[in-house]
Amino acid sequence: MSEAATAKRIADPGLDQSIEKLTPDRIEATILRVINQENSARLKTFVDTCVHCALCSEACHYFMSYDRNPRYAPVGKVKNTLWEMIRCKGKVSKEFIRDAAQIAYTECNLCKRCVHFCPFGIDTAYLMTIVRRICHLLGVTPQYLQDTSHSHSATFNQMWVKDDEWMDTLQWQEEEARDEFPGLRIPLDKEGADIMYSVIAPEPKFRAQLIYQAAAIFHEAGSDWTMPASPGWDNSDMAMFSGDAEMMGRLKRKHFDTARRLRVKKIVMGECGHAYRSVYDMGNRWLGYKEMPIPIIHAIQFYCELLRAGKIKVGSKIKELCTFHDPCNTVRGMGLHEMGREVARAFCPNMVEMHPNREHNYCCCAGGGVINCGPPHKMTRVHGNSIKAEQLKATGAKIVIAPCHNCHGGLEDIIHHYKLDMKLMFLGDIIFEHMQKPGAVE
């Protein structure tokens, strides 16, 4: 590796200690298995097509924020990981695996911005997921990320939320909400409801008020909805990011099986980008789903439908200047940028765009499981996104709307570190605070 490629090692027991168990034979066999048996035409096409032109470099917020260090260029990340594994036919050292893991897990958000800059459409995010897959099978994964993945396999949610804790939290939020909306219920396991609402585990763990807000929106819209009383309620998927494809598949199957058990007509997912990606892009493909077993939509689509149908109505408008952050997974991945703006504009007449925006928007630098790699890697991503800070600052906005949990985490850190005078909001925050509430007590 070049000096730039090895410039900085972040201590992480999941990377440093795990490589001690590796043997050359195991490394070689694992790399060859993943390259030859789990990937074929797409990988070969990308490897054979790349002309090393580096046009993808400026797509990457890490590259732009780290003084154009080639280590952080998309093509640099592939060169220092997967290409070398292929070139050496799997004969790489355990130190190489350790460094490749740091690059793939903590220096790439799998945000796919670079796909739009490559003349051949080469998908570096996909190539980094192959590196992660190899590292996962070798047991070399950042410790914090691996902990969330273990939690998924032990509890079917990423935050070790126990079943009674889940039920207690829903009951608590229902009780709180009934003070404001006397007739409100959070229906549990209601068979045959129109909608199953699923969330990510950090909601009951840290942000229970978001469940209150969602319940209020469902209530005011007159929706027939339910939440599952048993595992299958967490739609997040850190196994997708750790490279544990088997667990990713089990999680997605559980989520859909829960909806099937409840015989709901569709699933509405909360405001999370990666959870949505796990059902439309990765988990579904691993499971071989041609079609979704049950229709499934993101909260952006749901809110947009409610507004268009007049089921929720604007009560008041936000006066401050607002801007809209396009989450990679809902926008580059699923094209929900205009729907997101439609909802935002209904409540925020003073909107200003970031530049670039929509499918060219810069990532928050938290996604792809990077924020879940925990405190050891925090400053890599914060310093790796000064370009986002500049982009935000240039808008002059006081409110940033970001309909994705990870984006919130990443942008919060950016706003704090770069001392930006901005407040973050979910679309649900805005709707809850500014919709008409005929069902609420005065």
Closest CA to 366 of 408, 401, 399: 408
Instruction: Please report whether residue 113 would count as binding ligand SF4 according to CB under 6 A.
Output: yes
Considering the complex, what minimum distance in angstroms separates the CB of residue 265 from ligand SF4? 27
Instruction: Please report whether residue 74 would count as binding ligand SF4 according to CB under 6 A.
Output: yes
The count of residues interacting with ligand SF4 (CB under 6 A) is: 39
Instruction: Please report whether residue 7 would count as binding ligand SF4 according to CB under 6 A.
Output: no
Nearer to ligand SF4 by Cβ, of 79 and 190: the residue is: 79
Considering the complex, what minimum distance in angstroms separates the CB of residue 390 from ligand SF4? 16
Nearer to ligand SF4 by Cβ, of 29 and 53: the residue is: 53
Among 18, 65, 80, 124, binds ligand SF4 (CB under 6 A): 124
Nearer to ligand SF4 by Cβ, of 249 and 410: the residue is: 410
CB-facing half-sphere around the CA of 16: CA atoms within 13 A: 6
Considering the complex, what minimum distance in angstroms separates the CB of residue 368 from ligand SF4? 6
Nearer to ligand SF4 by Cβ, of 118 and 177: the residue is: 118
Footprint of ligand SF4 on 329-358 (CB under 6 A) = 329
What six digits make up the tokens of 31? 């790399």
Among 27, 34, 35, 60, binds ligand SF4 (CB under 6 A): 60
Instruction: Please report whether residue 75 would count as binding ligand SF4 according to CB under 6 A.
Output: yes
Instruction: Please report whether residue 56 would count as binding ligand SF4 according to CB under 6 A.
Output: yes
Closest CA to 198 of 182, 180, 218, 177: 218
- Can you tell me the distance from the alpha carbon of 251 to that of 249, in angstroms, rounded to the nearest whole number? 5
Residue number with the shortest CB distance to ligand SF4? 367
- Can you tell me the distance from the alpha carbon of 84 to that of 100, in angstroms, rounded to the nearest whole number? 10
Query: What is the separation, in whole angstroms, between the first and last Cα of the chain?
Result: 66
Give the x/- contact pattern for ligand SF4 in 11-50, rule: CB under 6 A: ---------------------------------------x
Instruction: Please report whether residue 55 would count as binding ligand SF4 according to CB under 6 A.
Output: yes
- Can you tell me the distance from the alpha carbon of 141 to that of 126, in angstroms, rounded to the nearest whole number? 17
Among 228, 273, 340, 403, binds ligand SF4 (CB under 6 A): 273
Among 94, 98, 112, 381, binds ligand SF4 (CB under 6 A): 112
Instruction: Please report whether residue 403 would count as binding ligand SF4 according to CB under 6 A.
Output: no
Piece in contact with ligand SF4 (CB under 6 A), picked from 129-137, 181-189, 252-260, 403-411: 403-411
Considering the complex, what minimum distance in angstroms separates the CB of residue 213 from ligand SF4? 20
Instruction: Please report whether residue 138 would count as binding ligand SF4 according to CB under 6 A.
Output: no
Piece in contact with ligand SF4 (CB under 6 A), picked from 24-32, 148-156, 307-315, 321-329: 321-329
Instruction: Please report whether residue 274 would count as binding ligand SF4 according to CB under 6 A.
Output: yes
Nearer to ligand SF4 by Cβ, of 145 and 366: the residue is: 366
Instruction: Please report whether residue 132 would count as binding ligand SF4 according to CB under 6 A.
Output: no
Identify the sign of the CA torsion 112, 369, 86, 75: positive
Instruction: Please report whether residue 280 would count as binding ligand SF4 according to CB under 6 A.
Output: no
Considering the complex, what minimum distance in angstroms separates the CB of residue 152 from ligand SF4? 18
Instruction: Please report whether residue 264 would count as binding ligand SF4 according to CB under 6 A.
Output: no
Instruction: Please report whether residue 422 would count as binding ligand SF4 according to CB under 6 A.
Output: no
Instruction: Please report whether residue 125 would count as binding ligand SF4 according to CB under 6 A.
Output: yes
Q: Which residues form the interface with ligand SF4 (CB under 6 A)?
A: 50-56, 59-60, 62, 74-75, 77, 108-114, 118, 120, 122, 124-125, 273-274, 327-329, 363-364, 366-368, 404, 406-407, 410
